[in-house]
Structure 1
């Protein structure tokens, strides 16, 4: 082991080489910093050391500078090189010393206290998980829906919202936020219509990972909305809003029931089961299924099928919770269908949105998780068996 002469050292950079940071590119960050030091002949003034985990894995890759006491989150090469010149953008600073006090960047999570007190009553947290959308309006609808639902939730419960993808916070951040606020139990409730890959694999993977990080926290898992009588009432409400009377016979009307689409055979079977249950409650000769992606029949094929069967009026009925890119695409499809099939009356009904019966179902799923009767716990067990048999690379 070399012994360096550090008498001229002015700054010491500690570069995290823990497992999480290494997986996020810490080796490249290390080389970029050292290359920049050499290129500017600063070897004697700036010393670098690799370290093990520094306890800020969410901010990967982490670099600490002493004697300033600044912690950096390095996710781009320009940030790594800027550290050498003390010109790092504020958004990449985790902690900075100001007037002798350590200040956390506004965009940085607080993190978990290393030695949390365990005295006193336990706090329970309910973490609702939305899918997330590239369209921010859809994410905001989820947040507002949960805000409205809070009015019917015991105020002693912590309630947070997170997303699978496309929006913040993600599930990992959501769990950490619950624990930061003192939760000893976290009940994860998916805001997802059908039981498929997201609810079978992706969310359980996040929960299992959290169990490893926080072994003293109790986690439970709720079930998806699934097949539920209240869902049928929501669909009938949306049909009524476009002038469809469920108590009347509609001999020349077809309903085109449109789902997101999934490669999961169980999810597709459940979708067709819901269609059958709905057909029993609406007096139409034609109720066709279609999917906007992943599987068939497509929406175009479903529309053509309705027309072939003789429908003079077609109602497109979305099986979607909130707005999003796919919902906007469906609206554009409806406008194009009106142009392509001028002899047919075409309407599009609304998605679930803020329907009060959606809150009823979600609260039921929450209470099942809280009282231990949710089938979601079996999903966690099924996921563990799946990993044992096939392995699992969690990239969602």
Structure 2
């Protein structure tokens, strides 16, 4: 079989801790994948870039490259930014086969992680507890459907009456709007569950807002991000293997 490479594409961040967390998570997956040529790159801000990562793999002899988005959901980066970079790479390396894999998506094992993050903060979860699930948000309609699906699955897993949703960008209600609405409806604590893979600016801004509310006498509890949980490392490994297997059949990405 021609030499296989794997290109992991993470988001990138101005927060060093976020880049470190992403790299550590991906490296956990890389150690369990028997493919010698593997590189980590970033969509923006951090280095190396997608273009630089492809150059590295090709220079090491890769003829087939499995492109794995280290993203939770399908949105602008998946539908626009990454394909744009692959189109450029295909023009430059016409004899290299590229296969673009899927983001992690809505999986039951991720619902388990969210439930675990809630139990870390709230050992006993009563049916009437108020929970706010917060997604990154995008202009793609699929994002809202996915977040609402995740909220419904989490509600059933926890056996609670309802879970509200909010977004950090592009979609309504925005995080702060949804949070203020919940606080106006209850005197009980509100649990905020970020549907974010790694820490970064978004987690910091949420924490800052919550700290401000808590100093005003409210009780808002922010759960940890998904992070390097073993279940999401396993989900990432599955995506890599799916994408690498597609590289030997008709589904490889060859541009237009």
Aligned to 1:191: 70
8 Å CA contact 1:254–1:311 kept in 2: the answer is no
Q: 1:322 aligns with which of 198, 204, 210?
A: 198
How far residue 279 of structure 1 moved from its aligned partner, in angstroms, is 1.0
List per-residue Cα deviations over 1:125-171 (Å, max 9, x = no partner): 111000111212211211111222222111x4311100000010010
Distance of 1:259 and 1:311 partners within structure 2: 24
Aligned to 1:239: 118
Distance of 1:125 and 1:240 partners within structure 2: 39
Q: Number of residue pairs matched?
A: 254
Aligned to 2:91: 212
8 Å CA contact 1:191–1:225 kept in 2: the answer is yes
Q: 1:167 aligns with which of 28, 46, 60?
A: 46
Superposed CA RMSD? 2.0
Q: What's the secondary structure of 2:117's corresponding residue?
A: helix
Aligned to 1:180: 59
Higher relative contact order (CA 8 A, sep 6+): 2
Quick check: 1:370 aligned with 2:247?
no
Unaligned runs of 5+ in 2: none
> Structure 2 matches for 1:346-385, cutoff 5 A?
346-372=220-246, 384=256
> More deviation in 296-305 or 163-172?
296-305
Q: 2:126 aligns with which of 240, 249, 253?
A: 249
Distance of 1:311 and 1:152 partners within structure 2: 47
Q: Comparing both structures, which one devotes a greater share of its residues to strand? A: 1
Aligned to 2:28: 148
8 Å CA contact 1:223–1:365 kept in 2: the answer is yes
Q: 1:303 aligns with which of 179, 189, 205?
A: 179
Q: What's the secondary structure of 1:186's corresponding residue?
A: strand
> Structure 2 matches for 1:210-289, cutoff 5 A?
210-245=89-124, 248-251=125-128, 253-289=129-165
Quick check: 1:125 aligned with 2:2?
no
Distance of 2:209 and 2:159 partners within structure 1: 25
Structure whose CA Rg is larger: 1
**Shift >2 Å, 4+ stretches:** 248-251, 283-286, 307-311
Q: What's the secondary structure of 2:208's corresponding residue?
A: helix
> Structure 2 matches for 1:27-46, cutoff 5 A?
none
Q: Comparing both structures, which one devotes a greater share of its residues to helix? A: 2
8 Å CA contact 2:213–2:219 kept in 1: the answer is no
Distance of 1:231 and 1:350 partners within structure 2: 13
8 Å CA contact 2:8–2:68 kept in 1: the answer is yes
Distance of 1:255 and 1:283 partners within structure 2: 12
Give me the TM-score of the superposition, normalised by structure 2: 0.92
Give me the TM-score of the superposition, normalised by structure 1: 0.61
How far residue 318 of structure 1 moved from its aligned partner, in angstroms, is 0.6
> Structure 2 matches for 1:37-186, cutoff 5 A?
122-154=2-34, 156-186=35-65
